[in-house]
Amino acid sequence: MKERILEYLNKKHDYLSGDQISKHLGISRQGLWKHIQELKDLGYEIIAVPHLGYRLESCPDRLFAFEVLRNLHTKFIGKNIHYFDYLPSTMDSAMQLGMNAAQSGTLVLAESQVKGRGRLGRSWLSPKYKGIYLSLILRPRISPAACPVLTLMSAVSICEAVKEVTGLDVQIKWPNDIFIHHKKVAGILTEMNAEVDKVNFVVIGIGLNVNNDKSSLLPQATSLKAEHGDWINRVSLLQEILRKIESNYFLLEDRGAQEIIHKWRNFALTLGTRVKVYYQNKHIEGQATDIDQDGCLLIRKDSGLIQKVSSGDVIACR
Amino acid sequence: MKERILEYLNKKHDYLSGDQISKHLGISRQGLWKHIQELKDLGYEIIAVPHLGYRLESCPDRLFAFEVLRNLHTKFIGKNIHYFDYLPSTMDSAMQLGMNAAQSGTLVLAESQVKGRGRLGRSWLSPKYKGIYLSLILRPRISPAACPVLTLMSAVSICEAVKEVTGLDVQIKWPNDIFIHHKKVAGILTEMNAEVDKVNFVVIGIGLNVNNDKSSLLPQATSLKAEHGDWINRVSLLQEILRKIESNYFLLEDRGAQEIIHKWRNFALTLGTRVKVYYQNKHIEGQATDIDQDGCLLIRKDSGLIQKVSSGDVIACR
């Protein structure tokens, strides 16, 4: 009901009498008053003027489930949202929900995390109300070996959404980092719960710096606001990310990895450059030439030999 | 302390005065009496005769943690045991413990399960006090693709332990079923929690029919007692399984999959026979020739072509 009240107030952009709203939504004046109070408690600025009625002055900068769901228009991604002002880690909560049979497309959102996780046990800074910190449960019918392409699919979706909403030029550093002007703006972590030959479910975690001020960021990090100049509407951006993930997920199901890899290449920061890749206490150096069907990076060493790397940290050589 | 009292009573096999036991173990008579009552409540038959003292008449047929730990002599497997009279599923509990940072080697034991799980969502019948139903948490430093060999390693360990304790001839049907005289006696389920390129932890589930009566078994199933004739001591068998898993796990770490695969071949029911393998709504037919380093079954089709199958259900032809 709260989202219907907001939608109605939003649509009219002017004072609406309590009577008018109650009738339109089919609730009592008493019920309306209660909902309005609750919305105010959530941070919605709704002014009430005698003889004129209610007007929505401003919305709080929050990723409330009913805000994200409003005009989301997806088939299954984000249809079921677990929203928290604070969580230790959205990944932990989503893995838990997955084990409790949560549906594919279930989304865990937190306004802040204390133990936000990155790849290989690294941490992800998640200051309150500044970023988008989400974990998405998917149930693809694939084997564990086929999971890396889901990371690529997510990276492509973030790039497409950020480009569409902000116009910023975004790039992907293999395997899972999103960069703007050579600074990291987002990270992706894909975890799975699986039998040896069948994935039970996958959780895709995304940490994206949105409205962080430049001064609060580490030197090698950036945020969309820092690059774009303006404050970014996190709800709209999140909705676009979810829509892109859904359409790319369907693309993957229908056509296989090929199309996703093709899109990925267009955002690739790494390809065509000379790199060092550190993996399992070793490193190799060479030209990053391509990624293959499984999401592995192909490195052409100085000997001319092509080596395939399935995971690691890429450092650009100048 | 309970295990020390039992050990002392066991060792002497005769009446021991309360005074003697108290002194030997350094506890008060009052404390001893309390422990003896608790042991009786657990089903230990301990008789107390005035002027003679206590004698251990019999032990209950239970997999109590302190019984399993007594003389286990492993380095890390089973050092930490979570024992339950009943659980929905040891797999669910172990996956949960794994997410809560349980150490490698942690064991979940249940005397019965209602939702005992098998591969691909199938169920495993777990009647009370009849079988061994366990889930073991391991934290190997491997990629998800390397996990199938852990199933093979577990199958080999069960076969070695059953053979040692009962003398029965046991065989493995690829990938994860243990057979005696062409009837299924045990199943193995390996699940993982992983990043796309790094396993966080693995849970190996084992369901083994031990003392089930013939009449209570499905026609295609058997139990160790049904094959052997005699009642089997589940504690001793479980301990031997844990010891074999540990030594084979160290073997795998030290020498790689090669040695495990070599052992596996010696127990293989499937190899050298003509089979149909059903997988992903397809099937292929041919001669099962070998398994490869990754645990995949190699089938030589009538065309002479060798096809590799990573998962499926094997049916023997004729």
A211-270 pLDDT, tens digit per residue, is: 999 999 999 999 999 999 999 999 999 999 999 999 999 999 999 899 999 999 999 988
Residue among B191, B197, B198 whose CB faces A194 most closely = B191
One domain, residues A256 and A278: no
CB contact under 8 A, B197 and A143: no
Please state, in angstroms and rounded to a whole number, the distance separating the CA atoms of residues B2 and B44. Answer: 11
Tell me which of A122 and B183 has the higher pLDDT.
Answer: B183
One domain, residues A28 and A127: no
Q: Using an 8 Å Cβ cutoff, are A126 and A221 in contact?
A: no
One domain, residues B296 and B246: no
Rounded to whole angstroms, the maximal C-alpha distance in chain A is: 83
Please state, in angstroms and rounded to a whole number, the distance separating the CA atoms of residues A316 and A261. Answer: 21
B296: which DSSP letter? P
Q: What average pLDDT does this structure show over B185-209?
A: 95
- Residue A175 pLDDT more than 90? no
Residue among A120, A193, A198 whose CB faces B198 most closely = A120
How many C-beta atoms lie closer than 10 Å to residue A99's C-beta?
Answer: 16
B259-269 per-position pLDDT tens digit: 999 999 999 98
Q: How far apart are the first and last CA of chain B?
A: 57
With bands split at pLDDT 50, 70 and 90, how would you rate the model's confidence at A101?
Answer: very high
Mean pLDDT computed over every residue of chain B: 92
Residue at A122: amino acid letter: R
With bands split at pLDDT 50, 70 and 90, how would you rate the model's confidence at B192?
Answer: very high
Cβ within 8 Å of B, A 43-102: 92, 95-96, 99
CB contact burial B7-39 (16+ within 10 A = b; e otherwise): ebbeebeeebeeeebbeeeebeeeebeebbeeb
pLDDT at B4: 84
Residue among B92, B151, B198 whose CB faces A99 most closely = B92
**CA nearest neighbour of B236 among B84, B68, B109, B74:** B68
Tell me which of A29 and B250 has the higher pLDDT.
Answer: B250
CB contact under 8 A, B144 and A147: yes
pTM given for the model: 0.88
pLDDT at B315: 87
One domain, residues A140 and A234: yes
Final residue of a domain: which of B229, B245, B267?
Answer: B267
Residue among A147, A193, A200 whose CB faces B196 most closely = A147
Strands annotated E in B163-246: 171-173, 177-180, 183-195, 198-209
Beta-bridge mates of residue A123: A117
- Residue B169 pLDDT more than 80? yes
Tell me which of A115 and A188 has the higher pLDDT.
Answer: A188
One domain, residues B81 and B171: yes
pLDDT at A176: 86
Q: A246 is written with which tokens?
A: 């859904």
Cβ within 8 Å of A, B 114-153: 119-120, 143-145, 147-148, 150-151
CB contact under 8 A, B192 and A148: no
One domain, residues B145 and B169: yes
- Residue B12 pLDDT more than 70? no
Q: Using an 8 Å Cβ cutoff, are B209 and B223 in contact?
A: yes
pLDDT at B207: 95
Mean pLDDT computed over every residue of chain A: 92
Cβ within 8 Å of A, B 176-215: 189-198, 200
Q: Using an 8 Å Cβ cutoff, are A135 and A191 in contact?
A: no
| Chain B: closest CA distance from residue A298 (Å) | 16
Q: What average pLDDT does this structure show over B247-275?
A: 93
Q: What average pLDDT does this structure show over A166-181?
A: 93
Query: What residues of chain B lie within 8 A of the CB of A120, using their CB?
Result: 195, 198
Q: Using an 8 Å Cβ cutoff, are B192 and B215 in contact?
A: no
**Where in the sequence is the domain holding B286, given as residue range(s)?**
274-316
Angle at alpha carbon of residue A67, lines to A64 and A72, rounded to 5°:
125
Query: What residues of chain A lie within 8 A of the CB of B191, using their CB?
Result: 193-195, 200
One domain, residues A40 and A138: no
Q: Measure Cα distances from B97 to A9, A202, B187, B194 in Å.
A: 48, 19, 22, 15
Domain count, chain B: 3
ipTM (interface predicted TM): 0.84
One domain, residues B197 and B228: yes
One domain, residues B84 and B135: yes
- H runs (alpha helix) in B210-296: 224-228, 234-255, 257-267
Q: What average pLDDT does this structure show over A279-300?
A: 89
**Is the preceding peptide bond at A175 cis, omega within 30 degrees of 0?**
yes
Edge to edge, the sheet with strand B306-309 lists: B306-309, B297-300, B282-291, B274-279, B313-316
pLDDT at A120: 73
- Residue B318 pLDDT more than 80? no
Chain B residue with Cα closest to A117: B195
One domain, residues A156 and A12: no
Q: Using an 8 Å Cβ cutoff, are A2 and A31 in contact?
A: no
**CA nearest neighbour of B223 among B84, B156, B125:** B125
pLDDT at A12: 66
Taking the CA atoms of residue B95, residue B96, residue B100 and residue B106 in that order, the dihedral angle to the nearest 10 degrees is -60
Flag whether residue B308 sits within 8 Å of chain A, measured between CB atoms: no
- Identify the top-confidence range among A4-8, A56-60, B137-141: B137-141
Please state, in angstroms and rounded to a whole number, the distance separating the CA atoms of residues B61 and B2. Answer: 16
Question: What is the domain-level CATH number for residue A18?
Answer: 1.10.10.10
Please state, in angstroms and rounded to a whole number, the distance separating the CA atoms of residues A232 and A210. Answer: 7
One domain, residues B120 and B22: no
Query: What residues of chain A lie within 8 A of the CB of B200, using their CB?
Result: 191
Please state, in angstroms and rounded to a whole number, the distance separating the CA atoms of residues B82 and B108. Answer: 5
Question: What is the domain-level CATH number for residue B289?
Answer: 2.30.30.100
Residue among B92, B99, B197 whose CB faces A311 most closely = B197
**CA nearest neighbour of B295 among B146, B191, B185:** B146
| Chain A: closest CA distance from residue B147 (Å) | 6
One domain, residues B281 and B254: no
Final residue of a domain: which of B58, B74, B99?
Answer: B58
Final residue of a domain: which of A237, A252, A267?
Answer: A267
